[in-house]
Homo-oligomer: A and B are copies of this chain.
């Protein structure tokens, strides 16, 4: 019998989960819950239905895992605890600094309902976090480096769009190759923000807009751009659609460290991702953890879990015997 999946929220991430479910024969999409009028939401899966979000709790016995695909900043802090009481849930809460309080709220709700709730699942937080943990546990004496990109930052793109005279914008975060090489060579560099990443912005401006002023506003924007070397390109709406429609991303987690009685040996552990579609990859990670949430719930686990708490075997559709025989 397949694991019955519900999706709450049908934006880029929700659609990504729908696609990922299709790639996993042991998962089955049962329902999409939306805040919009259900009849206005067209989904791809013919065997699933769209419901208003107010119907969700009534369907708790028909859904094995509910995947929350709403915003991290204001929606998940409310909705993950709300639904964790009724469903096994997975979210991709990514406000690193607020994870401890989110964990506490979700843990209380999930324990009250006897459910498993996986939070902060994706690639960062998620796979990058896992790789930081493994590398730190293996090499206690070492240094961590995380680089992001090349990829689209939605937050930075949105920030540029709010500038007067900007019609559309796409911001790419780009790791500095020279810095990456120094890290890989074990040079153990201390890198400033500016030395690690550059930013490249493509802007469609209103007709007659003051491009020099827009460029200056971007480059000096506090927190978002002022600490970086930023390049700004003005392009047409057609070029934006043709060349910048995707949401690629990726990055690198590197730990360099020493072993030996007198620290005489150097080692480099590197994990990297090169992703055509950030939301679809995030969704693919989420689906593996949905499988784990279901299995752990079946075994009687309850409460909030992160990627740190999940034994890897739970993620695979293969049995432990198959994994040992073919993947170890």
Q: Is the CB of B259 within 8 A of A327?
A: no
* A315 contact from B24, B134, B306, Cβ within 8 A: B134
Neighbouring B residues of A317 by C-beta, 8 Å:
137, 140
| Number of chain A interface residues as a range | 35 or more
In the bound complex, residues from chain B placing their C-beta under 8 Å from that of A307 are 312, 328
Interface pair B275/A267, CB less than 8 Å apart = yes
Q: Closest residue of chain B to A246, judged by CB?
A: B265
A297 to chain B, nearest CB (A): 15
A23 at the interface (CB under 8 A from B): yes
A182 to B: closest C-beta gap in Å: 14
Please tell me if A110 contacts chain B, counting CB pairs below 8 Å.
Answer: no
Whether A308 lies near B280 (C-beta < 8 A) is no
Instruction: Known contacts A281-B267, A325-B100; decide if A261 and B44 are in contact (CB<8 Å).
Output: yes
Check A316/B137 contact, CB under 8 A, given A129-B328, A273-B269, A277-B260: yes
Q: Determine the chain B residues whose CB is within 8 A of the CB of A157 once the complex forms.
A: none
The segment out of A14-22, A219-227, A231-239 that lies at the interface is: A14-22
Decide: B313 and A309 in contact? CB cutoff 8 A: yes
Please judge, given known A-B contacts A266-B276, A285-B138, whether A323 and B311 are in contact too, CB under 8 Å. no
Chain B residue nearest to A263 (CB atoms) is B23
CB distance from A146 to the nearest CB of B (A): 11
- In the complex the two chains form, is B129's CB within 8 Å of A327's CB? yes
Minimal beta-carbon separation of A9 from chain B (angstroms): 18
Q: Is the CB of B284 within 8 A of A308?
A: no
Nearest residue, chain B, Cβ from A120 = B328
Whole-angstrom distance between the alpha carbons of A307 and B323 in the complex? 11
Q: Provide the bound-state CA to CA distance between A103 and B319, in Å.
A: 15
Given A139-B284, A308-B313, A268:B259 Cβ within 8 A: no
Residue A178 CB within 8 A of the other chain: no
The interface residues of chain B lying within 8 Å CB-to-CB of A328 are 96, 99, 120, 125, 129, 306-308
Report Cα–Cα, A83/B18, bound state, in Å.
Answer: 49
Residues of A bordering B, CB below 8 Å: 16, 18-20, 22-24, 44, 96, 99-100, 103, 120, 125, 127, 129-134, 136-141, 184, 259-261, 265-277, 280-281, 283-285, 288, 291, 306-313, 315-317, 320-321, 323-325, 327-328
21 A-B pairs whose Cβ atoms sit less than 8 Å apart in the complex? A16-B259, A22-B261, A99-B324, A99-B328, A100-B325, A127-B134, A131-B271, A133-B312, A133-B316, A134-B312, A137-B288, A138-B284, A184-B274, A259-B281, A266-B276, A269-B273, A306-B324, A306-B328, A309-B312, A309-B313, A310-B312
* A-B complex: 3 closest residue pairs judged by Cβ atoms: A265-B276, A137-B315, A259-B280
